[in-house]
Structure 1
Amino acid sequence: MDKNLALFTQINSLSYWLLQESNFKSSVSLDATDDSFFISIKDGLESIYKHHIEDFSKKDQRFLRIELSSIVSHLLQIKRSVKSHKHAS
């Protein structure tokens, strides 16, 4: 679980960075009642990225790590795009 916790921390950090450094709005939710994890990145009303993990606590830890790593990769790509757009301006 330590590796997954590190991925959660990275997801939260990247989401916060996007809130501070871009016009994107990010939302991250870990819902114990629904047993799900949800992340959404929006540009105004347009959704540019979202991911929902259902049955979160029942997921195999290896598969969960792969899924969380994929989210981190997508967020890093969005961050790179924001930085390159700012650099080009």
Structure 2
Amino acid sequence: METNLSLFNQINSLSYWFLLESNYKSSVVLDAEKDSYFVSIKKGNKHLYTHHISHFSKKNKNFLKFELIAVVNSLLHIRETVVHRQQQQQSA
């Protein structure tokens, strides 16, 4: 569970980074009633990334860890792209 908590923290930190450091909007929703976890990154009205984990509390721990790692890696890739574009704009 500690690994998953660390992954949740990374997802939240990356989501917060998008809100503060870019013009991308992000949201992370853990819905206890629907037993789901949802991550979304948007630019304007265009969804760049979404990931939904349903039956969250019933997921196999290893599979959940795998899914969360995939979310973190995707968000890191998007952040890297945003930073690269920002650097290109500043140097132009």
Using structure 1 for the length normalisation, give the TM-score.
0.99
For each residue in 1:16-56, what CA deviation from the matched residue of structure 2 results, as whole angstroms up to 9, or x when unmatched? 00111110000100011000000111000000000000000
CA RMSD of aligned residues (A): 0.4
Q: For 1:46 and 1:18, locate their aligned partners in 2 and report how far apart those are by CA, in whole Å.
A: 15
Aligned residue pairs total 89
Q: For 2:44 and 2:86, locate their aligned partners in 1 and report how far apart those are by CA, in whole Å.
A: 18
Q: For 1:85 and 1:22, locate their aligned partners in 2 and report how far apart those are by CA, in whole Å.
A: 10
- Residue 64 of structure 2: aligned partner: 64
% of aligned pairs identical?
54
Q: For 1:75 and 1:34, locate their aligned partners in 2 and report how far apart those are by CA, in whole Å.
A: 24
Q: For 1:86 and 1:17, locate their aligned partners in 2 and report how far apart those are by CA, in whole Å.
A: 14
- Residue 80 of structure 2: aligned partner: 80
Q: For 1:50 and 1:17, locate their aligned partners in 2 and report how far apart those are by CA, in whole Å.
A: 17
Q: CA deviation at 1:85?
A: 0.3
For each residue in 1:39-76, what CA deviation from the matched residue of structure 2 results, as whole angstroms up to 9, or x when unmatched? 11100000000000000000000000000000000000
- Residue 41 of structure 1: aligned partner: 41
Q: For 2:26 and 2:83, locate their aligned partners in 1 and report how far apart those are by CA, in whole Å.
A: 17
Question: Unaligned regions of 5+ residues in structure 2, if any?
Answer: none
Using structure 2 for the length normalisation, give the TM-score.
0.95
- Residue 9 of structure 2: aligned partner: 9
